[in-house]
Structure formats: structure tokens, C-alpha cells
Amino acid sequence: MTHASPTTPEGQALYLQLKAKLHDVVPDVELRYKAEIAAEINRLKIERNAVILGHNYMEPALYHSVPDFTGDSLELSRIAARTDKDVIVFCGVRFMAETAKILNPSKRVLIPALPAGCSLAASITADDVRDLKRRFPGVPVVTYVNTYADVKAETDVCCTSSNAAAVVGSFGTGPVIFLPDEYLGKNVARETGRRLILPEPGQTAADAGDLTNTLIGWRGRCEVHEQFSVADIEAARRQFPDVMVLAHPECSPEVVAAADYAGSTTAMIREVERSPAPRFLMLTECSMADNVVAAHPEKEMLRLCSVRCPHMNQISLEATRDALLHDQYPVDVPEAIRGPAARAVERMIAIGPTGKKD
């Protein structure tokens, strides 16, 4: 990292803008360096007629400088589907960039870092889904959007954390195969008054008995959210009795029950904005708390930053600049997979975050 000040007028202007927002969050020496890269990205973005989408987990200097849109998985999918730009740079993880390509295949979709995966997406294959469908014939498949395109192609409807309960609810009291997040499945089961079973290998519908109001789940976990514990919440409450605790629904059902609020990344941000609580603890990737503090300096955020998403953290300003500069790394989905995957994702978008059809 160079310690030099921004050298271009655009870099200097962006530095002052970022400093106004991030002076309590990012050290000045780093801001000066990052502002110049962000200014270069904004120039390249115009040159390439690109749109930059930034997930809520992006680090603060990136989040507050280059994205045209920020949001949770569902919000960014909706924007990707309707952009008329030539290039979509997805500052998020691979399954999100793939979803953008599935929805808007004529666009060039770039992910700034190839290793930006996701433990949930890696937990299940298309063969696993086909096997479950053989064992539970006729049962609709709902798949969390944190999966790869070939898994989505085996799916009836995708969902995100902001509409999982609504998507499951749209199937009435019938059984639903819900993949691949065990904890999200358990949290949705509780919210919708269902039970969740985790079938053993080879177990079939006949072995499982009455499947009314049943979710058939999978043992996938988010490597970040599975680490938060009830003991963390209790310790935070002992030290700060007036803290409001918010948890992402990828946390265990015990953690969600012990928290004051659970919701998608954007839903958590909105709740902090709405709440008069004196301080907050968000059990999720800790960059998000930095981004909230930058936008709302009056809010006091506690952070558990030893738990980080190693995949989201691959996406830096440098990698985003190089993506536009060197046209890397394009995300492609074969048409035979894209078509069926698009149907599942479009149904998810139609259901929307509140469960009401648009």
C-alpha cells in the first residue's frame, strides 16, 4: 500500500467524500489510497458502460464508493435482471454473479475474484438434488439462492433469506424439500409451523411417514453464521444489558431465538435504522456493522469481528478495478442449465420480500 495522497482531481474529490463518511471507520492513510482506486473504477465503469452491484457485506471503502446499487441477495438479483448496462460487475460471491447471468444472459457478468465461493453453495450438488427427488417423488424443491446454477436448475422455486418463509408458505401444508441450509430450514420451519427432517442417505418418503407440514432439509451450513452461539449473546447482554441483538437466519435456531430480531442483511440494516435502542449487535459478517456506522454515526454498533466471511473478503477495490481493466473474471452458465435455473429464480423474484406478488 502506498501512503501517497490521491493524485487526480477525481481521486481527491472522492477522498473528501469518503472521509466525511468513514473518518471514524477507516484510517485516513488507507482512505487516501483507496479513494484513488475507487476513482479509477468509476472512470472505467463509464468507459465500459458497466453497473457495479455491491452486497451489504462489502468492506466500507468499497461499499461507500463504487457500487451503483447495494443490497441483499434478493434486491441485487432484481436489479441485475433489469439493468440495461453492457457489463455487470458483481461485488459479492460467485453464486450471486451466476444468478445475475442466469437472469440477464446477454450481459457480460464479471466477478472480481474467482475464489469467492460460499460454504452453503459448496455443500450440495445437482446429483444430490436428483437423488432426493427420486427418494421423495413429487415433492416440490425450494432451494436457497446460495447455490450454484446446476442445483438451481433442479429446483422448482429459489428463495433468499428475505422470502424463504413466503416461498415455503406458497406450497400450503404439503411437504417441501428445502435445500441446502439446515439452520435456515429449521428457522423457516419454526416460522411457518412445520417440522424439519434431515433424511439419512437412502431414506425414502415411505420411511419418513406422514409428510404433511414437513420440510425435508439438508445438512449445509454457513461457515460464518454457524459460529455464533447463545453464549456470545449472553456475554454481550451481561456487558451491555440494553443491547439489541440481530441475527441472520443462517444462524442456529437457538441463536435466532435468543436474538431480538432475525432477518436478511438488508432487513437487519432497516431494523437498526428504525430502532431507538442505544446499541446493537448484528450476528453476521462484521463489515456490515462498519457500513451501518458510516451511514448512521449516531448508532452504536458492537462487533464480533473474529468471525468473517473469507469469500466476501476476496472482493477488494483492487480486484474490482482489475475486473474492469482486464475483463476478468467472466461468469458463464450453459444454456441447458440457465433456462430451468432462470424459471426457479424468476419465481423467487415474483414472490418478493414480503410474500406478496408484485
285 forms part of the interface with ligand SF4 (CB under 6 A):
yes
Contact map string, positions 78 to 117, toward ligand SF4, x by CB under 6 A: ---------------x------------------------
Query: Which range touches ligand SF4 (CB under 6 A), out of 33-41, 134-142, 221-229, 290-298?
Result: 221-229
> Which of 127, 103, 89, 54 is CA-nearest to residue 287?
54
Cell, residue 207: 420411511
Question: Using an 8 Å Cβ cutoff, are 218 and 136 in contact?
Answer: no
Site for ligand SF4 in 122-181 (CB under 6 A): 146
Exposure b/e, 133-157, CB count within 10 A at least 16 = b: bebbeebbbbbbbbbbbbbbbbbbb
Site for ligand 13P in 227-256 (CB under 6 A): 248, 250
Query: Which range touches ligand SF4 (CB under 6 A), out of 191-199, 267-275, 307-315, 319-327?
Result: 307-315
Which is nearer to ligand 13P, 6 or 67 (by Cβ)? 67
Neighbouring-strand partners of residue 216: 177, 197
Q: What are phi and psi of 307, to 5 degrees?
A: -105, 110
Q: Which of 77, 104, 187, 265 contacts ligand 13P by CB under 6 A?
A: 265
316 forms part of the interface with ligand SF4 (CB under 6 A):
no
**In the complex, minimum distance from the CB of residue 293 to ligand SF4, in angstroms, rounded to a whole number:** 20
Which is nearer to ligand SF4, 136 or 183 (by Cβ)? 183
- Tell me how far CA of residue 18 lies from CA of 9, 65, 291, 354, in angstroms: 14, 7, 12, 33
Q: Which of ligand 13P, ligand SF4, none does 72 bind, CB closer than 5 to 8 A by kind?
A: ligand 13P
Which is nearer to ligand SF4, 45 or 248 (by Cβ)? 248
**In the complex, minimum distance from the CB of residue 151 to ligand SF4, in angstroms, rounded to a whole number:** 14
**In the complex, minimum distance from the CB of residue 356 to ligand SF4, in angstroms, rounded to a whole number:** 26
Q: Which of ligand SF4, ligand 13P, none does 155 bind, CB closer than 5 to 8 A by kind?
A: none
Q: Which of 104, 146, 155, 214 contacts ligand 13P by CB under 6 A?
A: 146
Query: Which range touches ligand SF4 (CB under 6 A), out of 124-132, 133-141, 202-210, 217-225?
Result: 217-225
Binding positions for ligand SF4, rule: CB under 6 A = 93, 118-120, 146, 222-224, 250, 285, 309, 311-312
